[in-house]
Structure 1
Amino acid sequence: MRTGNEPLTARSPLRLRFWLSVWGLLWAVAGTGLFAWNGRTGWAITCAVLVLLISADLMMVVHRLHQGAHYQPGREVPPYEPPEHGS
């Protein structure tokens, strides 16, 4: 249901972002190790930088998830009603 006020009532898919970050972190760590083992220093550094960025993003997502339902409502919380504007 589109109401036109989605920026005000949008919900962030933090759990999806968490699992995608974990998946990306696993690949970046594996890439760092494999590229370093094969002597591809430039690619290993690139993957290491990705590991740092993904780790920072993952820490922020975990912090937001721990803040509770105000920032990440679960399935039991219904969508917010659009604000009423006086005509």
Structure 2
Amino acid sequence: MLNRRDYLLGSALRKLHGGDLKFAFLSHEYNGLNRGPTGDTRPHVERTFQSFTDAEKENGRSRIWLGWQFDADAGIKQGNSVADHILGNALQKI
């Protein structure tokens, strides 16, 4: 079983906002404040994505570079399924 909360997050955000949105993302590791293993301050790196779907796909592909061998499409499908269940049963609009 894949346990990737980032697939779930992308799916849930897309569903909560009623579709894909352009957004910017700032990593907590590369925020221009944190230090790397050598003690040097890491740069401020902000990424912009045209949609949650684009970020979701890139995230799946990035796992290959980390050496994780699994089916990214299955992970995205699982994230969509979990998001549907949570949004349909646990989180309700008020």
Q: What's the TM-score, normalizing by structure 1?
A: 0.32
Structure number with the higher helix fraction is 1
Q: What's the TM-score, normalizing by structure 2?
A: 0.30
Please identify the structure whose Cα radius of gyration is greater: 1
Structure number with the higher strand fraction is 2
